[in-house]
């Protein structure tokens, strides 16, 4: 059973935290764009770890649920982000947005699925002992 309210609120937070942090480190983009991109990817990964930990804090981890919640977060991030970047001062095209930013949000469903897979494989191994 998916916790929709928790999932949605964490989806908003999964967008807001990296977005806010990007303002802090944005000067780095002019100085070293690849370092900025790598730092943002690491921030997304840390946020994904924390968000999944909070989402599954009092329930068992299941791969389909982790994939669905990660996809919800991907959707939240794309909707909030693209609407901002396509109309604001950036005025990015669809191709530019997805090549620079949008594909990075795939980390949410991919990390969720992988982490849940690891947890379930560990649980299976523990039951065999």
For residue range 25-50, what is the model confidence (pLDDT) as tens digits? 999 999 999 999 999 999 999 999 99
pLDDT of residue 1: 85
- Yes or no: say if 85 and 97 are a contact pair by the CB < 8 Å rule: yes
Q: Is 113 left (phi over 0), alpha (psi -120 to 50) or beta?
A: alpha
Name the residue range of residue 99's domain: 4-128
pTM of the model: 0.89
Into how many domains does the chain fold? Answer: 1
- Quick one: pLDDT band at residue 129, thresholds 50, 70, 90? low
Q: Which residues lie closer than 8 Å to 69 by C-beta, 6 or more apart?
A: 2, 7, 10, 52, 55, 112
């Amino acid at each position: 059973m998916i916790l929709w309210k928790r999932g949605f609120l964490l989806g908003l937070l999964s967008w807001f935290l990296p977005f806010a942090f990007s303002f802090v480190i944005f000067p780095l983009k002019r100085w070293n764009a690849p370092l900025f991109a790598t730092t943002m990817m690491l921030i997304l990964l840390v946020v994904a770890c924390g968000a999944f930990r909070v989402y599954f804090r009092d329930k068992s981890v299941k791969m389909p649920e982790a994939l669905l919640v990660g996809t919800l977060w991907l959707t939240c991030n794309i909707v909030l982000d693209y609407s901002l970047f396509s109309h604001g001062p950036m005025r990015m095209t669809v191709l530019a947005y997805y090549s620079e930013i949008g594909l990075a949000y795939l980390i949410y469903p991919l990390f969720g699925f992988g982490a849940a897979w690891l947890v379930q494989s560990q649980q299976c191994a523990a039951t065999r002992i």
